Chains A and B, each alone.
Chain A
Amino acid sequence: MNTATHYDVAIIGAGMAGLAAGIRLAHFGKRVCIFERHNAVGGLNSFYSISGRKYDVGLHAMTNWVPPGTKGTPLGKLLRQLRIDRDEFALHPQKRSRIAFGPGGETSLTFTNDFAVLEAEVAQKFPAQIDGFRRLVVLVKSYDDVSLDAVPESARAVVRRHLCDPLLEDMLFCPVMYYGSATEHDMEFGQFVIMFKALFLEGFARPVEGVRLVLRVLLAKFRQAGGERRMKCGVRQIVSESGRADRLVLDDGTEEWLLSSDVGLYADLEAITYDFATLPSGTELYLELIVVDFGGNTDSVSGVVTVP
C-alpha cells in the first residue's frame, strides 16, 4: 500500500520565505505542506540559548519600520497580506544607528528613523555634497522600484551623478549593500532604491523578544490557515513527469505526491461519476481511495492510471 499523501503545493524549507508563502497559499485554500530538514523553523533567522541566555541568529533588526497608520509602504502590505495585526509584533523602533569609517571610526554618520537626522549629518560632515545628496533623495523617492521593465543600471553610476566624494558614497552604500546586494561593490539601482527607502527613509525596529516572536506568529498563522508542516523531513529530489513537478523524494527515501492538476475528487460512492475537464491522452492521473468508517478507521489504496 502506498501511504504517500498528496498536496497542491509543497514548500521546501520553513524559513521566513517558506512560512510566508505557505500562509498565503493556505489562505487561498490550497492544501500546502512545508518540508523542513532541520528540527526548528526559521532557517537563517533563528535562535538558540546557552545557559539560559537567549541569542538570535539572523534577523536582529526588521527594516521598513514606519509609524502606525502610514499607508502604502511594504510593512503595512506585508502585515495585511499575512493577516498579522501590528500589535502582535509589538515593534520597538530603533534609537539610533551609526556608520563609522576610518581606522578609529573618525568619520561617522548617525541615522535614526527620522530621516532629517541623516540629512543634517550629511550637511554637517560633507557640506559640499549636501545639494547632490538632496537631489539623490528626490530621485530615490520618485523612482518606480518595482517596475518590471526598468532597464538595470549600476547604482554606483547613478549615485556618482549626484555625489563626488567617494567616502560619502561608500558610507551610504555600506549598510544598503549589507542588507541587499548580490553583487560585489555594486548593486542594481532599483534594488538600491528599495534598500535606501527601507533603511534610511523608513527605518529599523524589532520586537523586544526578537526573532522568536516573529516565528511564533508566522507559525500560528500558518497553522490557523490550515497549513501542514513536516519537520526533520528534508527533500532529496523533486521528480517531474512531463514537465511538471509531481513527486518529492524525501531524505529517508519515501515519496510524497503533489497534485499535478487542479482537479480534486470527492466522490460519493452512490454516484461515483467523474467530471474532469478534458485531459490530454497520456496524462497520468494519481488516484487514491480512502475509506473512512463510522468509527474513524481508515484504509486507502492508490495508484496511477494513464489517460488512454
Chain B
Amino acid sequence: MTKDACKKIVLDIIADIAPDEDLSNIKPDVRLRDQMQLDSMDFLDIVMELRKQHGIEVPEADYIHLASLDSCAEYLTPKFEALGK
C-alpha cells in the first residue's frame, strides 16, 4: 500500500461520514479539523469505519495520529501493510 492509496482510503471514509463537506481541496499537511467541520464524534466515526471496512484498530491513545492526511498515512500505512494490503 502506498501512502497516497492510504490517504485516499481516509478521504473516502470522510466522504461517507460527512457527505456535506467539500473534499476537493484538502491539504495533506494541515489538520483536518482546521479545514472542515469535524468534531470528536466524527473522528470516532473515522476510527469505526477503519475497523469495519478494513479491520484496522486505532487505540484511543493513537487518535492524535489521525490529525492530518499526512499523519494518517504515516500512521496507517504500516498497519495496512501488516495486514498484507
Where the two chains meet, the residues of A that have a C-beta atom closer than 8 Å to any C-beta of B are: 27-29, 69, 71-72, 76-77, 80-81, 83, 85-86
Tell me whether A76 and B48 are in contact in the complex, defined as CB-CB below 8 angstroms, given that A69-B20, A83-B17 are known contacts: no
A-B complex: 10 closest residue pairs judged by Cβ atoms: A71-B37, A72-B37, A28-B48, A81-B41, A80-B18, A27-B48, A29-B52, A76-B20, A80-B17, A85-B19
Q: B20 — which chain A residues lie within 8 A by C-beta?
A: 69, 76, 80, 86
Contact A77 B48 (CB under 8 A): no
Q: How far is the CB of B55 from chain A (nearest CB, A)?
A: 12
B54 within 8 A of partner (CB) = no
Interface centre among A29, A81, A86 (most CB of B within 10 A): A81
- Tell me the total A-B contact number using a CB cutoff of 8 A: 22
With the chains together, A85 CA to B17 CA distance in Å?
A: 11
| Cβ contacts under 8 Å, A28 to chain B | 48
CB distance from B12 to the nearest CB of A (A): 15
Q: A71-B37, A83-B17, A85-B19 are in contact. List 19 more A-B contacts (CB 8 A).
A: A27-B45, A27-B48, A28-B48, A29-B48, A29-B51, A29-B52, A69-B20, A72-B37, A76-B20, A76-B37, A77-B39, A77-B41, A80-B17, A80-B18, A80-B20, A80-B42, A81-B41, A81-B45, A86-B20
Chain B residues closer than 8 Å to A72, beta-carbon distance: 37
Q: How far is the CB of A72 from chain B (nearest CB, A)?
A: 5
Instruction: Pull 20 A–B residue pairs with CB atoms less than 8 Å apart, ordered by A.
Output: A27-B48, A28-B48, A29-B48, A29-B51, A29-B52, A69-B20, A71-B37, A72-B37, A76-B20, A77-B39, A77-B41, A80-B17, A80-B18, A80-B20, A80-B42, A81-B41, A81-B45, A83-B17, A85-B19, A86-B20
Report B-chain residues with C-beta under 8 Å of the C-beta of A80.
Answer: 17-18, 20, 42
Provide the bound-state CA to CA distance between A28 and B50, in Å: 11
B40-68 residues with Cβ-Cβ distance < 8 A to A are: 41-42, 45, 48, 51-52
Question: How far is B17's CA from A71's CA once the two chains are assembled, in angstroms?
Answer: 15
The smallest C-beta distance from B52 to any residue of chain A, in angstroms, reads: 7
List residues of chain B with CB under 8 Å of any chain A CB.
17-20, 37, 39, 41-42, 45, 48, 51-52
Q: How far is the CA of A77 from the CA of B51 in the complex (A)?
A: 22
CB of B83, distance to nearest CB on chain A (Å): 18
A88 → B minimal CB distance (Å): 12
Nearest opposing residue in chain A for B16, CB measure: A83
Which chain A residue has the least Cβ–Cβ distance from B41? A81
Nearest CB of chain A from residue B17's CB, rounded to whole Å: 7
Bound state CA distance, A101 and B7, in angstroms?
Answer: 58
CB-nearest residue of chain A to B20 = A76
The smallest C-beta distance from A81 to any residue of chain B, in angstroms, reads 6
Chain B residues contacting A71 (CB-CB under 8 Å) are: 37
Question: Which residues from chain A contact B52 at a C-beta distance below 8 Å?
Answer: 29
Interface centre among B19, B20, B45 (most CB of A within 10 A): B20
Residues of B within 8 A of A77 (CB): 39, 41
A-side contacts of B48, CB under 8 Å: 27-29
A85 to B42 Cα, complex, angstroms:
16
* CA A229 to CA B48, docked complex, whole Å: 23
Complexed CA–CA distance, A71 and B39 (Å): 11
Residue of B nearest to A80 (CB): B18
Chain B residues within 8 Å of A86, by CB:
20
Complexed CA–CA distance, A72 and B41 (Å)? 13
